[in-house]
Structure 1
Amino acid sequence: MNALALKVPPVAQVIITAAAMYGVSKMVPALTFSLNGSIALAVALGLMGLSLGIMGVTQFRIAQTTPNPQALEKVSSLVTSGVYQYSRNPMYVGLVLILLGWAFYLSHFLAFVLLPIFILYMTRFQIQPEERMMAQKFGKTYQDYLNKVRRWI
């Protein structure tokens, strides 16, 4: 299973998950639900997710390090300020919020079932390999950060 580690870029994982959510919503229309304000909630969650992602990327740019999860060898500094003082992975939390918004937009129960699968996949094949690399690169400083700030929220 380690063959999947760091192989599928997070944005591609979001596209795959969003497409699967859409697919199940069309294949099993009986599980659609109606919720007043679901579109507004979907937009709000999507915008929150986008904002969180932008804040995360901005902190990386300020620190003059790469936000590219496919170029971990280019990481030059450990970012622990801004949104990174609340979550070690705010960009990924942002992606989850975008997918949560998409699930509300689709208003389909199975769309919500795919969210934990996305989170588990991201944790196992993206975040944990990133954490191992960061621990090697930044040592005790990173370990202290791990002990202080949660992985997701």
Structure 2
Amino acid sequence: MKALELKIPPVALAVLFALAMWLLAQLTPSLAVPLLWRQVLAGIFTVTGIVIALSGVLAFRRANTTVDPRVPQQSSSLVIRGIYRYSRNPMYLGFLLLLLALACYLMNVAAIALLPLFVLYMNRFQIAPEERFLLQKFGADYQAYCERVRRWL
């Protein structure tokens, strides 16, 4: 399973999950659940997801470090300011919120069921390998940061 670690860019993974959610919703219309205000809820999650993800990107840009999560060895600094005071993975949290927005819009149980799979995949194949590298590179500073700030929220 190590072969999957850091291989799929998280943005591509989010797009794949979005496509799978849409496909499942089309294939299982009987699993649709009516939700009042679904467009409003989807809009709120969309805006929130975009703001959080972009805040993470901007923090990395300000620190002059790579935003490509497939190459954590290119990290030049430990980013712990801004949005990173609240989440160690705001870009991934933003993607999750965008998928949640789609789930609200689709309102299909099968599509919603993919959200925990996204989190599990990200934790195992993206975040855990990143954390191993960051701990090795930044040592006690990263360990202290992990003790202060949660992985997702």
**Which residue of structure 2 lines up, in the alignment, with residue 81 of structure 1?**
81
**Which residue of structure 2 lines up, in the alignment, with residue 133 of structure 1?**
133
Report the TM-score when normalising by structure 1: 0.98
**Which residue of structure 2 lines up, in the alignment, with residue 90 of structure 1?**
90
Aligned partners of 1:54 and 1:12: how far apart in 2? 16
For structure 1, list consecutive stretches of 5 or more residues without a partner in the other structure: none
User: Match for 1:124: what amino acid?
Assistant: R
**Which residue of structure 1 lines up, in the alignment, with residue 69 of structure 2?**
69
**Which residue of structure 2 lines up, in the alignment, with residue 116 of structure 1?**
116
1:73 to partner: Cα distance:
2.0
* SS class of match (1:59): helix
**Which residue of structure 1 lines up, in the alignment, with residue 145 of structure 2?**
145
User: Match for 1:110: what amino acid?
Assistant: A
Tell me the matched-pair count: 153
Report the TM-score when normalising by structure 2: 0.98
Aligned partners of 1:139 and 1:116: how far apart in 2? 30
Aligned partners of 2:147 and 2:33: how far apart in 1? 41
Aligned partners of 1:64 and 1:23: how far apart in 2? 39
**Which residue of structure 2 lines up, in the alignment, with residue 102 of structure 1?**
102
Correspondences of 1:4-83 after superposition (within 5 Å): 4-83=4-83
Aligned partners of 1:73 and 1:3: how far apart in 2? 17
Aligned partners of 1:14 and 1:60: how far apart in 2? 20
1:70 to partner: Cα distance:
2.0
1:38 to partner: Cα distance:
0.2
Aligned partners of 2:61 and 2:13: how far apart in 1? 23
1:5-25: per-residue Cα shift (whole Å, max 9, x none)? 001110111111111101110
Structure 1 segments (4+ residues) deviating >4 Å: none
* SS class of match (1:103): helix
The percentage of aligned residue pairs carrying the same residue is 48
Aligned partners of 1:24 and 1:64: how far apart in 2? 40
User: Match for 1:21: what amino acid?
Assistant: M
* SS class of match (2:33): coil
1:52 to partner: Cα distance:
0.3
User: Match for 1:134: what amino acid?
Assistant: L
Aligned partners of 1:105 and 1:71: how far apart in 2? 34
